[in-house]
Structure formats: structure tokens, C-alpha cells
Copies of this chain bind each other. A is one copy, B any other.
């Protein structure tokens, strides 16, 4: 087991990465403020892991409430959020009861937001079971639900008390979800960690065949990158925005085709190609860099072009992005491979061209 720390003064917390952690009640117990917890999961993950997480807690005398939500991005909305509150109140959960998210990014985001709001804030723990959640969404305290007009529009910055990333759960992950998670792993290489990008180029096949050491390395190194950025800029006043490479395009894709059609990581892969294309048009990276990025995403089995939406529709959706300021798009682009910047300097005609170049209708 490897342990990293997200160093945020009195809100610091550990990330444990390793095998067979989900049954380790001993790792969870010190973080419960009272002998009561509620686990939020979904209909896919619960049959696999809920018992294994809950039983050791129950044996230790913890009352465990179970909340099982429908599975999918299309349920990351206020209706589902409300159903969490209904159970928490019916089962008399208190503000010192701990909420535990067991699942992927959707479960982590909605559970974290529920914890942020219930009685104005209750403790919460992340137990991510997808690659995407382990390498990205479970760390850093961004919680949210979607709005019909925009991804993750309603939410809070709210840090967990503990992240428990059991890499054994990745063995039950559908192939498509594993590949989607790789989009966020590759992102760290592109924006700030060139040696990691090179490692990924050499070890992608080991990851795709789920070799334990390769998975542990990819999860650990991604979490280290994420933790460093979050500690430097918790509330996204600056550097943290760079983690959003491909996300302004990607969120437009997810919202545009309807939540749940594209997996988040798939949309991010296509969005990353749009950002790379635009960076190349601006002369920041060259065609060879572009081909290198495309090659890696393709090897990971990820889409390298967006879906059939008009360029105008892309732009309309992108203007609801949280980074928009005074009506101007701000995009994360690549200054070079391994270094990203946030900029509002890309001229709109170039943005249009990049979208057209890298989407299905082109």
C-alpha cells in the first residue's frame, strides 16, 4: 500500500493506493466521528463491493446505512441527490455521520456534494472503484451534479477525510471504462509530467492488460500529480484549471449528446484532440506532437474526434463553461507537450476550425 497526503492544513487527508483495501475496516474506522456511516453506491458496483466494505464496519459495531442509486451520468442530477437526502433523513443520519462514496466518478461527485450540503456539511470518504475516479475525481474535493444546460454546474469544493483506492476493483471494470480512465491519466503527462507521458507510451499495453504493478504505478503517479496541483491551488484560482485540458470541449460533448451517451473520459479524449489541434494551429506544438498525442489516445482505444454536432452548437455549449470570464472563453491549451496554459488568446475562427477539424461532421 502506498500512502500520499493532500496537504491542506487542518483539512489534510491521506490517499491510500493498493490491493485488497476495500475490506480494510481498520483503515476507515479512525476517520468515523460516530459509530454510524452511510454508503452510497450504484446498482452495478453495490453487488460487487458493498458487502465487502460494509461487513468489517458492522463487525466493529458501526451502524451502516446503504443507499444504492441507478448507475450512469444521466442520474447525476438533483433528483438523485434528493433521494440521498431522503434516506439520510429517514434513517436519522446526523451531521457527524460519515458519508462514504463507493463507485466511480458519478457516485463520488454526487455523494461528495450531498455530504457538503446535508445539514450544511457532514464528513465524507471516497472509495473509488473505477480508474477515472481513482486517478482524478476522488481526489481534490470537487463535487457536483449536472444541469441540463451544463456539466457539473451545481456543486461545492468539499474535501473528503480519506481516499481509499483499491486497485483490485479495476479487475471488474468493463474494458470501456478502463479506457475512459486512461484519458485522465494521459492528461497528467500532457499538462505537467512529460516523463510520465513517456512512461505511459512504453507501458500502455501493460495497463490495458491490467498488470497490477502498472496499474499501481499509474494510479499512484496520477494521484501525486493531482495532489500537488490541488495543494497549490485548491479553489482553482490558477494552476488547477490546467487539469481541465480538453474539458471545455469535452463537457460540451457530454451535454450536447446527452449525459451518459459518451463516458466522461471518452469526451475528454476527443476534447483533448481539439485542444491539441488548436494549440498546433496557434503554432505552439507541431504536427508531429499532434500525431504523437493522437497515437497514444488511439492506442488506448479512445475517440480522437468529437460527435456530429454543429460548430455553432459546440460554441454555444462551451460558453456555459465555468472558466468563461466576461463572456470570453478561456481554454487550456498546450504550450508544448508536457506543459499546459490557460488562455483567452485563441481567436474564435481558430477555435471553430479546431472543432471542425476534430469532429465527426468535418
Tell me the A199-243 residues at the B interface (CB within 8 Å).
235
Interface presence of A59 (CB below 8 A): no
Give bound CA distance, A250 to B89, whole Å. Answer: 18
Interface presence of A96 (CB below 8 A): yes
Please state the number of chain copies in the assembly.
Answer: 2
Known A147-B85, A154-B85: A119·B78 in contact at CB below 8 Å: no
**In angstroms, how far is the closest chain B Cβ from the Cβ of A124?**
14
Interface presence of A281 (CB below 8 A): no
Residue of A86, A89, A142, A154 with most partner-chain B CB within 10 A? A154
Tell me the A82-117 residues at the B interface (CB within 8 Å).
82, 85-86, 89-90, 92, 94-96, 116-117
Contacts of A319 in B (CB 8 A): 92
Interface presence of A284 (CB below 8 A): no
Q: Tell me if A149 and B96 are in contact (CB < 8 A).
A: no
Q: Tell me if A142 and B120 are in contact (CB < 8 A).
A: yes
**In angstroms, how far is the closest chain B Cβ from the Cβ of A90?**
7
| Binary contact track A281-303/B, C-beta < 8 Å → 1, others 0 | 00000000000000000000000
Which of B147, B156, B325 is within 8 Å of A96, CB to CB?
B325
Contacts of A322 in B (CB 8 A): 94-95, 119-120
